[in-house]
Amino acid sequence: MTEEGLFPHASLELLDLHQNLETAQTLAERWRVAERYLNQLGIDMPIYMFLNPRAPQETQMVFSSMPECWSAHYLSEDLAIHDPFLKTCATLRPTATGAEYLEQNLHMLTEAEQNFINQAAEAGLRSGISSTLKRINPGAFGGWNFGSSLRRAEFEKLMREVQPNLHLAGMIMHQYFLEAQSAEAQTPAQIPILSPREREALLFLGQGLRIAEIAFRMGIRKVTVDLHLKTARQKLGAATREEALAKAISTGEITF
């Protein structure tokens, strides 16, 4: 019996996924297609990373369905250094993730990584399974954490239904992401890449204001100002806030 015979509904879902990704043009639109597809499967907190540490401004894609408050916390506390996500990309074997699987993964986790996983659980991410797209090497690498708010028993029941095609779906989505990223990189930078709030935070920074002063002017918390500045720095491929400000001015993102 063919795979299509075994999983007819899954095959049709993959065909729909392919067609929807083909219709979407931009990287952001394709992520939204992928997010909807995974949510329909029960994967309500997917995380995708693909990057090149040697050239982050050239190859860096990070998408997440985690709550915005978690993203702000992640950036403001520099939690990337304790995120075990990349550790699971060291092997092609799927690895169970999340607080529901913490005990069985203790052998490969530092105390800081365990704390990170527990914090993520407080934000809703309890279970997941890794899907490596490309192993760590001198170039780009990354993969998926198909995360979910489900408890272990419910998640494992879900995996018995959807896992046979989940890795394949991840690879399909990844290839469409790469295609969109390449197309956008070849397009002249005419459309602003910074959000209005990121631009506003940089403008105030350029006027010599401190973070507390910027927060007051914008009517937001200091941690949110830090989030806007860090996101702007990442989008512009800048190592510091000052470099981000200089790049934003030189590219016309902001003007005084």
pLDDT(61) > 60: yes
pLDDT at residue 102, as a whole number:
95
Q: Residue 157 is which amino acid?
A: K
Q: Which CATH number is associated with domain 3-185?
A: 3.30.450.80
DSSP 236-252: HT-SSHHHHHHHHHHTT
Select from 78, 113, 76, 80 the least CA-distant residue to 98: 113
Q: Which fold has domain 196-250?
A: Arc Repressor Mutant, subunit A (1.10.10)
What pLDDT, in 10s, does the model give residues 165-190?
Answer: 899 999 999 999 999 988 887 765 45
Cα(83)–Cα(42) distance, integer angstroms: 23
The domains of the chain are located at 3-185, 196-250
| Average model confidence (pLDDT) across the chain | 85
Cα(59)–Cα(139) distance, integer angstroms: 9
The model's pTM is 0.70
